[in-house]
């Protein structure tokens, strides 16, 4: 492995169920690498195993067999007490359902993760405000998730995912609950994160429109990678990159 490889999966398999009757092999012997500054789309139909694969990449699920490495260090076998701070330090998660805490405001949802990553007091509050401002949501800081539109909630979720400065951002169906116009902006934002900040961004989706904004496309079917191809993202297209955090 070279220093340019951020995330590496080595012969990963995931089996659910304890008996022969309930056994389901969700992921079947996948080996793949993701590099720093790369945006990738894992594309496949519902039930293909793509969300399970993403969850294992971020340490939310453990593989049944195989190993996962971050910059050459295996983390898939860490104990939960070690794995939790590892996830917080290295990964930012964005979910289709946003997963915002309903009893916290937009600002407080971000600030919670900022505080978990080590900042306290006024420093945590100021950083959280700055992130909301970047997303164009300063005027919505005191609003609860129920008072935000789908696009606004997803922008809060993205800022929360970036609040601990993770080298890897994992997005599970980030446009699934959004209309096409807002969904396009969100995918441009994620692509811009990889380009401008040299992060690894992996998006799981069945939305083929995302092909246009990623560097690499990985097709998954029945728990296996069936093929890979180059995405349509143009890194030299400055106008497209201006979508990044511009609302």
Distance CA(25)–CA(14), nearest Å, equals 6
Task: Tell me what the mean pLDDT of segment 26-41 comes to.
Answer: 95
Residue 1's pLDDT is 38
Would you give the distance in Å from CA 139 to the centre of its chain?
26
Q: What is the 3-state secondary structure (H, E, C) of the chain?
A: CCCCEEEEEEEEEEEECCCCCCCEEEEEEEEEEEECCCEEEEECCCCCCHHHHHHHHCCCCCCCEEEEEECCEECCCCCHHHHHHHHHHHEEEEECCCCCCCCCCHHHHHHHHHHHCCCCHHHHHHHHHHHHHHCCCHHHCCCCHHHCCHHHHHHHHHHHHHCCCCCEEEEECCCCCCCHHHHHHHHHHHHHHHHHHCCEEEEEECCHHHHHHCCEEEEEECCEEEEEEECCCCCCCHHHHCCCCCC
CB-CB contact of 122 with 198 (8 Å): no
The architecture (CATH level 2) of 5-241 comes to 3-Layer(aba) Sandwich (3.40)
Task: Tell me what the mean pLDDT of segment 135-153 comes to.
Answer: 94
Locate the domains of the chain by residue range. Answer: 5-241
Residue 195 reports pLDDT greater than 90: no
- CB count within 10 Å of CB 50 equals 27
pTM here is 0.87
Closest CA to 145 of 177, 182, 109, 186: 109
Task: Tell me what the mean pLDDT of segment 33-59 comes to.
Answer: 94
Task: Tell me what the mean pLDDT of segment 29-42 comes to.
Answer: 95
Q: Which residue has the higher pLDDT, 151 or 182?
A: 151
Distance CA(188)–CA(70), nearest Å, equals 26
Task: Tell me what the mean pLDDT of segment 20-39 comes to.
Answer: 93
- Tell me the torsion sign for CA atoms 103, 120, 71, 66: negative
Residue 239's pLDDT is 52
Rg (CA), the chain: 18
CB-CB contact of 20 with 188 (8 Å): no
Least confident range from 5-9, 142-146, 185-189: namely 185-189
């Amino acid at each position: 492995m070279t220093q340019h490889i951020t995330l590496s999966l080595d012969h990963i398999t995931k089996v659910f169920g304890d008996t022969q009757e309930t056994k389901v092999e969700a992921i079947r012997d996948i080996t793949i690498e993701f590099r720093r500054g790369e945006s990738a789309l894992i594309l496949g139909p519902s039930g293909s195993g793509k969300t399970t694969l993403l969850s294992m990449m971020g340490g939310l699920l453990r593989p049944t067999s195989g190993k996962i490495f971050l910059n050459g260090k295996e983390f898939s076998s860490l104990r939960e007490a070690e794995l939790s701070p590892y996830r917080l330090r290295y990964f930012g998660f964005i979910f289709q359902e946003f997963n915002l805490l309903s009893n916290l405001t937009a600002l407080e949802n971000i600030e919670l993760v900022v505080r978990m990553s080590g900042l306290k007091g006024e420093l945590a509050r100021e950083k959280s405000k700055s992130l909301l401002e970047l997303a164009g949501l300063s005027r919505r800081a005191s609003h609860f998730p129920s008072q935000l539109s789908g696009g606004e909630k997803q922008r809060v979720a993205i800022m929360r995912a970036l609040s601990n400065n993770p080298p890897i951002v994992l997005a599970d169906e980030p446009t699934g609950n959004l209309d096409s116009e807002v969904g396009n902006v969100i995918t441009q934002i994620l692509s811009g994160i990889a380009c401008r900040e040299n992060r690894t961004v992996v998006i799981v989706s069945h939305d083929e429109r995302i092909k246009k904004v990623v560097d690499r496309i990985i097709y998954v079917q029945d728990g296996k990678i069936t093929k890979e191809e180059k995405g349509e993202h143009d890194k030299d297209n400055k106008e497209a990159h201006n979508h990044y955090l511009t609302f």
